[in-house]
Amino acid sequence: MRIPAIRMVADTIKTKAPMVGKLNKTIYSARFARTLSSLYSAGIPVDRCIVIAKQTIGNMYVESQFESVTKAIQAGEALSDAIDKVDGFIKKLPSVIRVGEETGMLDKMLVSIANDLDFKSAQALSRLVKYIEPVTIVIMAVVVGFVMIGVITPIYQSYAAIGAG
């Protein structure tokens, strides 16, 4: 979407929608964690990592919240506390980041959570497809039924008119 205001509304809905909202949050969290891990393990400062990693999320609503995250980190706040304030990530992400900060293994913890979230999102997506397939078939059957009624009704009406005459 090219209009930022409309994209912001659409992206907000993507994170709050029933069924797909949790899936989207899982995907956004995995993208962010994987990118942050790669950047952090390369020796890039955390505040710079955040600026780069937020661009991989793919959701304008979530990305818009990162200005406060960057400011909080520059003010000395822990990364886990700053990320905890972002609406659009799963609640497990700040906890994992906190453990990584405390143990000094932030990059390993981020890779671990990213792998876990990728697996969970793939499972959730396959479950969602299993629910959508039958609904799609029913909708197609209804559409075909209406088309058949629309075609057959005039034919029967013309037979009735010919038979009555």
Q: What would the pLDDT profile of 138-158 be if each residue is shown by its tens digit?
A: 999 999 999 999 999 999 898
Q: In this predicted structure, what is the pLDDT of residue 1?
A: 67
Average pLDDT in the 20-42 region? 95
> What's the pLDDT tens digit per position in 81-113?
999 999 999 999 999 999 999 999 999 999 999
The three-point CA angle 149-154-157 to 5° equals: 115
Report domain extents, the chain: 4-129
Count CA atoms closer than 13 A to 53's CA, side-chain side: 26
Estimate to the nearest angstrom the gap between the alpha carbon of 18 and the chain centroid. Answer: 12
Question: Angle at which helices 106-164 and 20-41 pack, to 10 degrees?
Answer: 150
Q: So what's the pLDDT on residue 163? A: 74
CATH superfamily of the domain spanning 4-129: Type II secretion system (T2SS), domain F (1.20.81.30)
